[in-house]
């Protein structure tokens, strides 16, 4: 049986002014409906998707003029939002029970932005991609009727992936004046390769973003300098409190994220290429819950919480990174053996 993994493919839409107006109206209507439904759910304390649909489906359609399937997608979006909220509350992400922040979150209904993304499925969005090239078209439901022939462009590799895969849920996104579709596709999972030369250990840090057990260090100095510069620019613009300053802040709000993502992508490709070249697996340290375990002085908190790798609570330097990577590589050997040979894993004796 072929095992598939889900992958998200980004495609840009190039609508005409009339089509863009219909898309904008659709997002606003769907999110207005979602906010209304959220208020009803919060008031009535009905959270199961089936119960919400049974109770509010008809009124939702009549009140906001939604077709059947878009109404179902709105219900699913709101129900998923409350599921996520309950999970965050249970995990303590909004503070302990009884705290002011937690009481405020629990006592307020979820509100959706007018231009928040909206999910579509095959019943209300279809693709016309042709045989080759980087252009295609989509047909999708809107509050102004069915839009046909909306131009869609993407990288040739991404478009080929869409043509060769089954397309599932697709999100319509409006960002910085541009329209995008984020399509979920099923991609066959690559065959698991047995490491033949052990493991390449990777230690994550701030001074060095990543240090391998081979002694290869990927410095974080460039990213740190960039983030400090962005922080200074944001502080100056926020202090001005003018319309032009606010426009610049809005325009720059994702620059740092894109820069950090690019740095991480380059580093990960470098590590994977080295592991593949030498026939080794990759063992990475576990940093789950690091923000809850580490206590820092105020100047260090921004560094930790904005770091792309959920960083350790203190700076690592010199050979400590190299030694830690060797230890991680050794643990990778043991863990891999336990996964691939469960009968050989150590058992705990009763105490």
Name the nearest CA neighbour of 335 among 199, 202, 204: 199
Tell me the average pLDDT across 314-319: 39
Tell me the average pLDDT across 68-73: 93
Residue 273: the pLDDT is: 85
Tell me the pLDDT of the chain averaged across its residues: 79
- Per-residue pLDDT for 315 more than 50? no
- Per-residue pLDDT for 221 more than 80? no
Residue 82: the pLDDT is: 93
Q: Tell me if 116 sits within 8 A of 172, measured CB to CB.
A: no
Residue 345: the pLDDT is: 44
Instruction: Tell me the C-alpha distance between 66 and 138, whole Å.
Output: 20
Residue 296: the pLDDT is: 52
Q: How confident is the model at residue 311 (pLDDT cuts 50, 70, 90)?
A: very low
Residue 23: the pLDDT is: 95
Tell me the average pLDDT across 238-256: 81
Each residue of 139-186: pLDDT tens digit?
999 999 999 999 999 988 888 888 888 888 899 999 888 999 999 888
Residue 287: the pLDDT is: 57
Tell me the average pLDDT across 258-287: 78
Q: Which region among 42-51, 61-70, 128-137, 284-293 has the lowest average model confidence (pLDDT)?
A: 284-293
Q: Is residue 245 classed exposed, middle or buried when 0-12, 13-18 and 19+ CB atoms within 10 A define those classes?
A: middle
What length does the chain have? 351
Residue 33: the pLDDT is: 96
* pTM of this structure: 0.68
Residue 351: the pLDDT is: 34
Q: How confident is the model at residue 190 (pLDDT cuts 50, 70, 90)?
A: low
- Tell me which DSSP letter residue 203 carries: E
Residue 297: the pLDDT is: 54
Q: How many Cβ atoms sit within 10 Å of the Cβ of residue 204? A: 25
Residue 191: the pLDDT is: 66
- Per-residue pLDDT for 237 more than 70? yes
The residue ranges of every structural domain in the chain are: 1-191, 199-343
Tell me the average pLDDT across 271-290: 74
Read off φ and ψ for residue 342, nearest 5 degrees.
-60, -30
């Amino acid at each position: 049986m072929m095992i598939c993994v889900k992958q998200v493919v980004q495609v840009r839409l190039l609508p005409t002014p009339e089509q863009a107006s219909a898309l904008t109206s659709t997002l606003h209507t769907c999110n207005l409906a979602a906010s209304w439904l959220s208020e009803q759910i919060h008031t009535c304390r009905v959270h199961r998707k089936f119960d919400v649909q049974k109770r509010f489906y008809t009124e939702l359609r009549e009140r906001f003029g939604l077709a059947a399937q878009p109404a179902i997608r709105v219900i699913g979006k709101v129900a998923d939002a409350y599921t996520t909220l309950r999970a965050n509350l249970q995990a303590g992400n909004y503070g302990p029970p009884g705290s002011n922040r937690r009481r405020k979150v629990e006592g307020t209904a979820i509100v959706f932005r007018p231009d928040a993304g909206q999910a579509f499925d095959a019943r209300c969005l279809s693709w016309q991609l042709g045989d080759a090239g980087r252009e295609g078209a989509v047909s999708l439901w809107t509050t102004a009727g069915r839009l046909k022939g909306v131009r869609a462009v993407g990288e040739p590799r991404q478009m080929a992936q869409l043509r060769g895969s089954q397309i599932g849920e697709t999100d319509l996104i409006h960002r910085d004046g541009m329209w995008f579709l984020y399509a979920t596709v099923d991609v066959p999972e690559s065959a698991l390769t047995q490491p033949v030369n052990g493991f390449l250990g990777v230690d994550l840090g701030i001074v060095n973003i990543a240090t391998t057990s081979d002694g290869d260090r990927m410095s974080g100095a460039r990213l740190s300098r960039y983030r400090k510069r962005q922080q200074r620019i944001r502080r100056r613009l926020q202090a001005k409190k003018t319309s032009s300053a606010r426009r610049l802040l809005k325009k720059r709000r994702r620059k740092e994220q894109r820069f950090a993502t690019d740095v991480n992508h380059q580093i990960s490709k470098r590590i994977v290429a080295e592991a593949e070249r030498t026939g080794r697996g990759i063992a990475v340290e576990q940093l789950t819950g690091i923000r809850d375990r580490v206590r820092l002085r105020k100047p260090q908190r921004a560094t930790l919480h904005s770091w792309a790798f959920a960083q350790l609570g203190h700076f690592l330097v010199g050979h400590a990174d190299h030694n830690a990577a060797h230890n991680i590589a050794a643990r990778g050997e043991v863990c891999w053996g336990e996964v691939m040979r469960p009968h050989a894993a150590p058992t705990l004796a009763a105490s």
